[in-house]
Structure 1
């Protein structure tokens, strides 16, 4: 195993058809890529892997699968506990050391055999040195009896194993399975699941949600850095009364660490020639430290910030035992664009009844209504939250859209790749740095010269480019329509919602409807326990969101009939604008019977104009932008007169607002001291409207951002493990600008 993040990785079994040409001279001038080192293996004569870094095996040479079944499944009573679940229940397994994936595959098999229909398994595993896909494939071949599960895992396994969270939804039509693979060291990775370490914290997934621990990893003598007291205390913080634990080792450091963390231990016979192993259970998780003994500054970068967490009042709609909303409650989603449709689908697939309210007569009628949208993120070589979230969102979106791209009947779009053209010296230098930053990870992106870009595109190009081989384009209106087609989703169109009113009631049942939906004529039209606002630029019209800094940006797309030159275009080109391959679609994204195919190109970027009308001068701007990317292509096309105007919804930091809706006035009261001292110790949580969430501000990256953001909203509501890690979810949190303004004395 190597500690060099820039060492070349072998390509996975799925590759692109070009060769990268990144400038090696720039590698030493920039930061290392944000990826953990891959596991470096030796394979013995039996074809079993050995870690060369830890000089240790991944599993028993006698029978790795039987060892897993004995140590982790049997001693966590997994089959028995899964058979006791009710339909719709969830079960969370936490693991240290994903390794070859054997424990996960065995748990998945057990789940398939014993869990009831419509139950949901969450398997959360942390791994500092993940196996590349080719090695995972080789390891999984050792257990042909698990091939039903390993084939699905390999299909969804991340192409680019960036440091951080990777959420894989592996569900079939009967039983849902979600793997959250955290690429990080065990302590840091698990701590990113903790909602907060501040003693004032109360909230969903409050570090009490893991039902069974698989404490695996290389032996304590081989890997002492992992088996630290902080690991065991973190396990305890992520446990609840009744959580069980099993581990292959009975080493003293493990026994002492677990006991000190509050686990009750028992020695039992180990597997094969191993004499002893440990099992444990949690009777009562240790109490959090009192506020006066909490030494770290509450708002330091080293400590999670309590204002992002919900107080008790904010969680009234949630079950007190599992911090999850009951499945028979109604969730109302306002807005049927990409944010609303993906959120509705995520909740419906978890068993919630979802009502979607849309002011237009069809979904995807505003910014999500362009005929062709590009799966687009802005690549960067900087280690900043925006760049890291872009990479995380892009990989999740590529997996999310795979079945839509594969659907040849309805035809939602094409996974045709996306070329980001370096049409200026500044972009050329930047993209070379980005390519060097990501190294040999060609399955995510690669640097191609002009000749290679031309072969990929199918037309002559003058510029080098960054190539994203697994991206492409989709029709957002058709996508929204399909996402909303689910038996648990009811759509209500032509509903102009202008108010959400909290219902005051003495009834504190989880089934209480807390919110009343009111139309523009002040008529109440529905009630719901939970509301998700996905209304983009309309959001500030709701009084609770009036202080949030959302801003509209006008964009116009243009349509052009395909020419003999443009008909050869095989991929999306992105420069100052974009153009997608020609299709038989109209300006609304619907397929037509027209003989001539058309292109969609755009879009303009206008911060000042609010004009909703299509303008000839903006058609010209789109052609001028295309000419910068490809003069030959631009000269071969003429506008057919059709176009479309929409308004992107963005935020000052270009990250969306995703999470619980803050009570602005209460924030200003609770954290007023921060206007005088930005680092003041204020041991209070944030104040949030119970059962009210937001998913807005995705800008021009709606196709990339909305799938993972919908997953985050569903995790909040359903009490699931955080799909992106708390540091990232905090960066998307709707309260972040309130705190910023308090510190700047703007509120």
Structure 2
């Protein structure tokens, strides 16, 4: 296969991606990176290429074997090898050319994943491997995500032309008969929902009352301007992800600097979760963990400093039965040792550097990191595209003529933009006016030990509580989980609770009884939902939904009306480190009409409109 094969067959015509902002290719099944590398090379060679090339490849776990070096493209091959992810199922997003070439690996069973990925494909390449019985299903799945006049090239199969025609494709003759070529041009409606489109910013009316932004909004490029409210992990991640796509960002924070609430803790632990079943929460956390590692490495490669550990993280099981069940799940799910390793009590003791109470499992790439360092690096990476406004509280937001305005407590306009993202934790539901107030506040108190029996701890320990060795005889422990408690003062009872829970994992701490009044600590507040999942994505137009409640009683998430240009990233609870970066990428992809970085069912599980959808289905507005 050569560049000419890609251009003549898969792409159809190089003019199709010329000067476009985004162009998406979907490949099923994956071929160890060969077509991706050839597509990448063709993109590099074309001066009229699209701004961003997305390549989505679907394949089984066996296709995650490390690709080899293509003789004709050794440099690009090596870049792909260096970025290759851990061999676990799910979606993996890899970025090249400063984010202008994006490879999303969708690893799993083909028929299942084709129904879960969400994108608008401009070109398809289909390799057929024993799929006779599923041809009709595959063709319909491709039609579900096909853009207008999307081209398709597939290996020849006698039943394929009929399946494609039934799904809305028009097949073209090929001289040699080795391939089937087609384009998506349905004569009837073949799907319930249109695949993702970019938010239509070019057609908005520039603001007239806010002179500073009115000037910057005079060109379509400058209309790519977003207001982000909240400068913690969520807001800074969104700032970096939008700026990487050329967006201007106005970041507004009520405190005097970045990372002053829970994101200001001295350190936080980052790790995925492994449960007995591969639940939605486990899959989302796995995706977030892996994507965060990728982005943090990219920030460090660009010269930004992240204060973090690299020795791994140890989770202590709740019981011996729990340890056995998780070890069985690790084996059943085929999770590799680069991701997680079950350990007995002796091995756990060796890893920890001191006795542990029970067996557990070890995450080689888990650890601790400074949230504030992440926030600083992300904002620095945004460069001149970022404008910050600290010490300013947003009292309300309004939309008029396609433009959002953020106002302070005196009614003064702070910023205007077509897009607003609420990343301000517990205050987000107030600004958004969410039905049923689905989020609650949680007070968390940390305890810092200056000198203790934990001084020899080698790696962070988590379980029912956590202990993080920060060096110089300093150990961070925590954290309390006080729902609806608004007390900002450090409490002795909180210190006692933290130390008792850590002692249940690390017995050497059991006899340690410092005077609570001499202990240092910190109090911060987090936001959580009743289902303990975050709120990430486009916010619903709840007024319109209520007015149309009878029709929407059987709605799906994509049926709900949305507030144009309004998004949320909040209620991360204690998982901001593993969810914030992935959440930011999801929101940026939704705004730009790009392929989503997670399966649609995962995105729906964190959709801010899910509580409204539940109320509609239960007839609460009838």
TM-score by length of 1: 0.74
Which residue of 71, 76, 81 corresponds with 1:144?
A: 71
CA distance in 2, matches of 1:332, 1:365: 19
Does the 8 Å contact 1:554/1:645 carry over to 2?
yes
Tell me if the contact between 1:405 and 1:413 (Cα under 8 Å) persists in the aligned partners. no
Task: After TM superposition, give the deviation of residue 427 of structure 1 in Å.
Answer: 3.8
| CA-CA distance at 1:634 after TM superposition | 6.0
CA drift at 1:252: 2.6
Shift of 1:239: 2.4
For residues 502-513 of structure 1, the aligned pairs below 5 Å read 502-503=399-400, 505=401, 512=402
**Out of 393, 408, 414, which is 1:519 matched to?**
408
CA distance in 1, matches of 2:190, 2:320: 55
The alignment partner of 1:416 has SS state of: coil
Partner of 1:288: 189
Partner of 1:169: 94
CA deviation map 1:548-606 (0-9, x unaligned)? 3101111111112245x6443221101221111224xxxxxxxxxxxx45222111111
1:180 corresponds to 2:104: yes
Counterpart in the other structure of 1:734: 608
**Which structure 1 residue ranges, 5 or more long, are not aligned?**
1-66, 195-204, 295-303, 506-511, 584-595
**Distance 1:518-1:92 versus aligned 2 partners, 3 A rule:** same
Corresponding residue for 1:712? Answer: 586
Q: 1:121 to 1:520 in 2, by over 3 A?
A: same
1:610 to 472, 478, 486: 486
Question: What is aligned with 1:528?
Answer: 417
SS in 2 for 1:104: helix
| Partner of residue 500, structure 2 | 624
- Does residue 1:380 correspond to 2:275, yes or no? yes
Mapped to 2, the partners of 1:267 and 1:78 lie a distance apart of 13
**Quick one: which of 235, 250, 254 aligns to 2:142?**
235
Partner of residue 686, structure 1: 560
How does 1:352-431 map onto structure 2 within 5 Å? 352-403=247-298, 410-425=305-320, 427-431=322-326
* 1:675-717 deviation per Cα after TM superposition (whole angstroms, max 9, x unaligned): xxx6x58999312211111111111011011111111101110
- 8 Å CA contact 2:441, 2:485 repeated in 1: no
Which residue number corresponds to residue 548 of structure 2?
670
Alignment of 1:51-66 (within 5 A): none
CA contact (8 A) 2:57 2:106 kept: yes
Alpha-carbon distance, 1:132 to partner: 3.8
Looking at structure 1, the residues matched to 507 and 301 of structure 2 have their Cα atoms a distance apart, in angstroms, of: 33
Aligned to 2:5: 71
Partner of 2:442: 553
Render the CA deviation track for 1:344-364: whole Å, top value 9, x for unaligned: 111110111111111111111
Contact kept, 8 Å, 2:3 with 2:41, in 1: the verdict is no
401 and 105 in structure 1: CA distance in 2 versus 1, 3 angstrom threshold: same
**Which whole-Å CA distance do the structure 1 matches of 2:398 and 2:309 have between them?**
42
The 8 Å contact of residues 502 and 516 in structure 1, kept in 2 or not, is answered as yes
2:172 maps to 1:266: yes
SS in 1 for 2:117: coil
1:82–1:115 CA contact under 8 A, matched in 2: no
Distance in 1, matches of 2:97 and 2:405, equals 35
- The counterpart of 2:470, out of the listed 563, 572, 582, is 582
Q: 1:76 to 1:608 in 2, by over 3 A?
A: closer
Kindly state the Cα deviation for residue 614 of structure 1 after the two structures are TM-superposed: 1.2
CA distance, structure 2, for counterparts of residue 115 and residue 604 of structure 1: 56
Q: Give per-residue Cα distances to partners, 1:521-557, cap 9 Å, x unaligned.
A: 2211111100000111112322523533101111111
C-alpha separation between the residues in 2 aligned to 1:543 and 1:267? 53
Counterpart residue number, 2:215: none
How many angstroms apart in 2 are the aligned matches of 1:416 and 1:538? Answer: 36
How far did residue 245 of structure 1 move? Answer: 2.1
Q: Distance in 1 between matches of 2:595 and 2:505?
A: 43
CA distance change for structure 1 residues 731 and 97 in 2, over 3 Å: closer, same or farther?
same
Task: Describe how 1:314-333 pairs up with structure 2 within 5 A.
Answer: 317=201, 327-329=221-223, 330-333=225-228
Structure 1 residue runs of 4+, over 6 Å off? Answer: 405-409, 681-684
Q: Cα distance 1:78–1:339, how it changes in 2: closer, same or farther (>3 A)? A: farther
Paired with 2:73 and 2:353, the residues of 1 have a C-alpha distance of 42
Q: How many angstroms does 1:90 deviate by?
A: 1.5
Matched, 1:125 2:125: no
The aligned counterpart of 1:215 is 126
| CA deviation profile, 1:327-376 (whole Å, cap 9, x unmatched) | 43210000011111111111110111111111111111112111101113
CA distance in 2, matches of 1:154, 1:386: 29
| Structure 2 Cα separation of the partners of residues 385 and 90 of structure 1 | 29
Task: Tell me, yes or no, if structure 1 residue 278 matches structure 2 residue 192.
Answer: no
Between the aligned partners of 2:103 and 2:72, the Cα distance in structure 1 is 20
Query: Given that residues 555 and 613 in structure 2 are in contact (C-alpha distance below 8 angstroms), is that contact kept between their aligned partners in structure 1?
Result: no
1:191 to 111, 115, 121: 115
Q: CA deviation at 1:255?
A: 2.6
Tell me the residue number matched to 1:495: 392
Paired positions, count: 602
Unaligned runs of 5+ in 2: 205-218
Question: Which residue number in structure 2 is paired with residue 473 of structure 1?
Answer: 368
| Structure 2 equivalent of residue 248 of structure 1 | 155
User: Which stretch of structure 1 is more off in the superposition, 380-389 or 634-643?
Assistant: 634-643
SS across alignment from 1:188: helix
Match of 2:212 in 1: none
- Root-mean-square deviation (Å): 3.1
Give TM-score, length-normalised by structure 2. 0.88
**Are positions 1:697 and 2:591 aligned together?**
no
Cα 1:411–1:727, aligned 2, differ >3 Å: closer, same or farther? closer
Deviation at 1:188, TM superposition (A): 3.3
Could you report, residue by residue, the CA deviation over 1:424-477 in whole angstroms, capped at 9, with x for unpaired residues?
A: 346435534443443452222121012211222233334211111111111001
Q: Using the alignment, how far apart are the partners of 2:304 and 2:138 within structure 1?
A: 50
1:442 maps to what in 2? 337
Judging changes above 3 Å, is the alpha-carbon distance between structure 1 residues 527 and 684 closer, same or farther for their aligned structure 2 residues? closer
Instruction: Please state how far the C-alpha of 1:404 moved relative to its aligned partner.
Output: 5.3
Q: Distance in 2 between matches of 1:627 and 1:112?
A: 57
Could you tell me whether the CA contact under 8 Å between 2:349 and 2:356 is conserved in 1? yes
Aligned position for 1:587: none
- Say whether residues 1:110 and 2:5 are aligned partners: no
Structure 1 contact 156–168 (Cα < 8 Å) conserved: no
1:101 equivalent to 2:4? Answer no
2:519 is aligned with 1:641: yes
Task: State whether residues 199 and 591 of structure 2, in contact with CA within 8 Å, keep that contact through their aligned partners in structure 1.
Answer: no
